Amino acid sequence: MATEVHEGRVTSRASMRLVGALLGFPGLGWLLAFLVLPVGGLAVLAFARRGAYGSVDWTFSLENLRRIAGWGLFGWSSDHLEILLRSGVFAVVTTIACLALALPMAFWICDRGRTARLALMALVTVPSCINLVVRTYAWMLLLGAQSPPVRLARWIGVLGAEQAMYPGWTAVLLGMVSCMLPFAILPLYASAERLDWSIVEAARDLHAGAWRTFRHGVLPQIVPGLVAAVVLTAIPSLGMFVVSDLLGGSRTMLVGNLVQQQFGSASDWPFGAMAGLVLIAGSLVSLWILLRHAGSSSRDTGKAP
Amino acid sequence: MSRRVPAYARILSWAGMALLFIPLLAVAISSVNSDRHGLRWAGATLEWYRKLSHDASILEAAWNTLVVASLSTLVSTLLGTLLAISLHRTPWPRSVRRLFDGAILLPVVTPDILFAVALVGAFGVLRQFSSIWEPGYLTLVVGHATFQISFVVLVVRARLAAIGPEQMEAARDLYASTWQGWRRVLLPQIGSSILAGALLAFTLSLDDFVISFFTSGPGSATLPIAIYASVRRGLSPVIHALSTVLLCATLVAILAASAWSGLENDYRRGARMARWGLAGGALALVAALGTFAFFGWQSRHQNASSAQHKAVTVLMYSEYIDPAMVEEFEKTTGMPLRIEVYEAQEEMVAKLQAGGDALYDVVVASDVIVRQLAGLGLVSPLDRARIPNLANVSPRFLAPPFDPQNKWSTPYLWGTTGILYRGSQDPDSLRWSDLLSEHPRFGRYVLMDEGRTMLALALQALGRSPNSTVPSDLREATALLQKAKARRGCAGFDGSVGGANKVAGSLVDAAVVFNGDALSRMEEDSTLHYGVPLEGSVVWLDNMLITSRAPNRLGAHLFIDWILRADKGAQLANFVRYPTPNQASLPLITPEDLADRSVYPDSLTLRRMEFLSDPGNASRLYDEAWTAVKAH
């Protein structure tokens, strides 16, 4: 039997695995029963067809794959590709905006006294206890043409008399950043708090400018937090449609709308499953790329993520 | 300290805090604003708080939310922590490890709706073995716990990874057993991350709508379900009041906890205080919800004790029945009436498919949906002998094209679709081309965010049947809408309430809306008008149907017959402000409504209107056309 050292004890790999399996079994079994198998079932559903009145016709067909690629009843169109592309851009822009605010916020909070730090971190999570729709609706009221903030903006001259921020992409971005920001701050703060400032000082001693100090002294140390922040903001933004519909006047479609529409008004569950699987696949692939890239960039500095 | 946060970072940080808290401030202000729609300030009031304390259904939803969130957080924290520890210390081969990582990330990357559908499928299979898997508390808790586990694992594992192997080795050197090492060295260090994971899981459960909607049954609806259902009519200020109470409770707890821990200087005690502070925050949230929940439980208890007879459960839109009628029904029949709400028709269909057909008795569904419900076997034929009041229904609404023998459905309320606008134009000379043509007569406008209806209206604008299944017709309608959408004046799409609100708030000049929503805005503002365009429009009829496995069929028939009584039909219409299909009720309708042509259109207008029908196999045509309209 192969013996190795685990947790400072000489033991066999098999016995470690046995204990690991026993500890992990309830959780893994749960995930398997209620998540992996059902989602696997959807992968089968994606290759079925819509029957009469929105029932499922269980005959195998590649039709949905063709459809998502753009071949529809009216011939080929770039609609689906545009929807996917737009969702991607939407997620990237939201994530960048969130990071641009969350990064300074994380360091700003770290810089406070212990009590203030604690209170600020708790405050950041406060908005999550109010429902997303209620918060988004509040933005709608705030940005409406007759609201005091918009009137003030008109009076100052920031907005023209006919101009409104809502509905429009400015409103969507405000709403998205507002609802995703806590998820970017939390992991970044955890990283920033454990930062080894001696490396930053060493960089300064070597006459590095502000940017180079950040790039080589700070950035490699916060990669794990950065990755977590990107995952927690980008992935939900990719499937998001409530905020964009309420604040953007639902002019256009995102992939979240497409999936929702299939399970909703179109009652075409097989195509909905296919569109959803494409979304999952897209998320997993971008995650994989991100993790690989993050792994290699933090290896550069010799520090494990 | 040499950290020195630069000035621009400080400004950005304050901007970030502002983004987080400005909407919360707006929620608090809306909760004391006496304007129902919150569009302008109409004086301070505590009316919404008073209503909140009397709203049994919201209080009960608060109770359910609390129970489900607590139970599922308990389950997921336990399973998630064990799983994280197991993954951390077990030397699995790389491939197995990757597989586990993938399984844990799956809930994070799966869209809610897909996850909900997958769960519905799983519960459907389990129901074959035991009826405890009927939609209700159990399915809700299981559903929530499933997505929570991942987040707990992610948080706890990140902390474990940061600790490193040296500490355990040191403990070993001091002759600690594995158990002692975990108990004394590692667990205390991951304690705060377990708490953080649990808190994250708790808030995720509080906020979840999609999974809750699909897995809940009658009596187990949660707050987000009430909130989403209320959005259709413009978010109720009662919801704002409830949110403000929760917000204040959390803020007070946080301030108290941080003031308390501020008195401590010793680092370790401080860290302990930090944990207590977080726990205190969670506790306060629980306490606030608990207070509501207590009232909810009380009213539920009262309901239960008065339920000598079997209850009748009805699934409908929110605010679609006079609450006074709920009590009257119980007094008349001795059967308690339970109203459960949905946000959209299609979601209601999915809910019935998820096993709801055995839990609800009556469902209120729109015309297009009736054939689908019958086709899917979700509703059962009516026993006409038990509905003598069907004779009260006006011949115009008896035997509609989607149910020619009233085999499945009886009318509930009806209405028209038209244009709400601000201006001096004559409502009788309106045309769809005023909105859709190259030179629209309205400066800014919104179209209806409802594919089937909007395409039907475009078809009528082109002089085609609103139920056309000819591909070339739909291609033309699509092109018409695409061009209208691309024009400068088009401010996008919105639901009927949203569109009416935008006209009332002067954001746009015109919107495509249902007459009931138009009416409530016209009362507040005499410069608003509503008209049905000359090319024709869509008339809609909501219907009552009985589910295929209704637990109380007798009560279901009683309810339908009761609604069709002359006085009840009038009471319903006078409350909801939509026209009644009940001829016998007309003398009891308020004279102003009866004379108002935007409520009861004249026969000439009615002749131009058509019912929508289920497009059957052509539904994909409508779906793809709508995607094409929206995609660009």
Give the whole-angstrom CA distance, residue A167 versus residue A229. Answer: 28
Q: Which residues of A touch B91 (CB under 8 A)?
A: 4, 6, 13, 16-17
Of B224, B485, B626, the CB nearest to A131: B224
CATH number for B414-540+613-631: choose from 3.30.1330.10, 3.40.50.300, 3.30.1330.100, 3.40.190.10: 3.40.190.10
CB atoms within 10 A of CB B319: 16
Rounded to two decimals, the pTM is 0.81
Q: Which residues of B touch A303 (CB under 8 A)?
A: none
Asked whether the beta carbons of B533 and B431 are under 8 A apart, the reply is yes
Structural tokens at position B595: 């004379």
Give the whole-angstrom CA distance, residue A230 versus residue A291. Answer: 10
CA distance A129 to chain B (A): 6
First-to-last C-alpha distance (Å) of chain A: 33
Domain(s) of CATH 1.10.3720.10: residues in chain A: 56-299
- Which tens digits make up the pLDDT trace of A53-86? 888 888 888 888 888 888 887 778 888 888 889 9
Give the residues across from B546 on adjacent strands: B362, B380
Q: Does A167 touch chain B (CB under 8 A)?
A: yes
For residue B153, the chain A residue with the least C-alpha distance is A27
CB atoms within 10 A of CB B388: 10
For residue A248, the chain B residue with the least C-alpha distance is B492
Which of A265, A283, A303 would you mutate first to test chain B, the one with the most B CBs within 10 A? A265
- Which tens digits make up the pLDDT trace of B24-54? 999 999 899 888 777 677 888 898 999 888 8
Contact: A105, B143; criterion CB under 8 Å: no
Asked whether the beta carbons of A99 and A230 are under 8 A apart, the reply is yes
Q: What is the DSSP string of A25-61?
A: HHHHHHHIIIIIHHHHHHHHHTTSEE-GGG-EE----
Q: Is the domain covering B312-413+541-596 a CATH 3.40.190.10 domain? A: yes
Q: Does A230 touch chain B (CB under 8 A)?
A: no
pLDDT at B283: 67
Residues of chain B with pLDDT under 50: 1-2, 264-267, 270, 305-308
Of B235, B349, B376, the CB nearest to A137: B235
Report B:438-467 residues touching A (Cβ under 8 A): 446, 449-452
Give the whole-angstrom CA distance, residue B266 versus residue A187. Answer: 26
Nearest to B600 by CA among B539, B524, B525: B539
Contact: B100, A28; criterion CB under 8 Å: yes
Write the single-letter amino acid at A61: S
Contact: B203, A32; criterion CB under 8 Å: no
Which of B1, B114, B402 would you mutate first to test chain A, the one with the most A CBs within 10 A? B114
For residue A177, the chain B residue with the least C-alpha distance is B19
CA distance B81 to chain A (A): 9
Average pLDDT, chain A: 83
CA distance B122 to chain A (A): 6
- Burial grade of B137 (CB within 10 A; 0-12, 13-18, 19 or more): middle
Nearest to A88 by CA among A237, A232, A288: A237
- Which tens digits make up the pLDDT trace of A208-244? 888 888 888 888 888 878 888 888 888 888 888 888 8
Nearest to B417 by CA among B459, B370, B371: B459
Please give the residue that has the higher pLDDT: either A199 or B363.
Answer: B363
CA distance A131 to chain B (A): 5
The sign of the CA dihedral B281, B286, B289, B292 is negative
Q: Which residues of B touch A32 (CB under 8 A)?
A: 103
Q: Does A276 touch chain B (CB under 8 A)?
A: yes
Model ipTM value: 0.84
Which of A16, A31, A56, A162 would you mutate first to test chain B, the one with the most B CBs within 10 A? A31
Contact: A54, B349; criterion CB under 8 Å: yes
pLDDT at B3: 56
- A304 pLDDT band, cuts 50/70/90, is very low
Query: How far is C-alpha B124 from the chain's CA centre?
Result: 23
CA distance B194 to chain A (A): 14
Contact: B485, A126; criterion CB under 8 Å: no
Burial string for B43-54 (b: 16+ CB within 10 Å, else e) reads eeeeebbeebee
Quick one: three-class SS letters along A242-302?
Answer: HHHHHHHCCCCCCHHHHHHHHHCCCCCHHHHHHHHHHHHHHHHHHHHHHHHHHHHHHHCCC
Structural tokens at position B271: 């860290």
Asked whether the beta carbons of B237 and B231 are under 8 A apart, the reply is no
For B118, B355, B359, B560, the CA distances from B314, given in Å and listed in that order, are 26, 15, 10, 10
Contact: B142, A34; criterion CB under 8 Å: yes
- Which tens digits make up the pLDDT trace of A110-167? 888 877 887 888 888 888 888 888 999 899 888 876 777 777 887 887 777 666 677 7
CA distance A252 to chain B (A): 5
Query: How far is C-alpha B515 from the chain's CA centre?
Result: 22
Contact: A261, B628; criterion CB under 8 Å: no
Q: Does A152 touch chain B (CB under 8 A)?
A: no
Q: Does A249 touch chain B (CB under 8 A)?
A: yes
Give the whole-angstrom CA distance, residue B266 versus residue A122. Answer: 21
CB atoms within 10 A of CB B590: 13
Q: Which residues of B touch A239 (CB under 8 A)?
A: 111-112
Structural tokens at position B28: 């608090």
Domain(s) of CATH 1.10.3720.10: residues in chain B: 61-235
Q: Which residues of B touch A8 (CB under 8 A)?
A: 165, 168-173, 181
Give the whole-angstrom CA distance, residue B187 versus residue A259. Answer: 42
Superfamily of domain B61-235 in CATH is MetI-like (1.10.3720.10)
Q: Does A23 touch chain B (CB under 8 A)?
A: yes
Give the whole-angstrom CA distance, residue B452 versus residue B466. Answer: 9
Give the whole-angstrom CA distance, residue B123 versus residue B146. Answer: 13
- Which tens digits make up the pLDDT trace of B251-287? 887 777 666 655 544 445 545 555 565 666 666 666 6
Q: Which residues of B touch A231 (CB under 8 A)?
A: 108
Contact: A31, B106; criterion CB under 8 Å: yes
Domain(s) of CATH 3.40.190.10: residues in chain B: 312-413+541-596, 414-540+613-631
Give the whole-angstrom CA distance, residue B389 versus residue B253. Answer: 56
Whether A298 has a pLDDT exceeding 60, the answer reads: no
Q: Which fold has domain A56-299?
A: MetI-like fold (1.10.3720)
φ, ψ for residue B338 (rounded to 5)? -110, 125
Count how many pairs of residues, chain A against chain B, have C-beta atoms within 8 Å.
Answer: 391
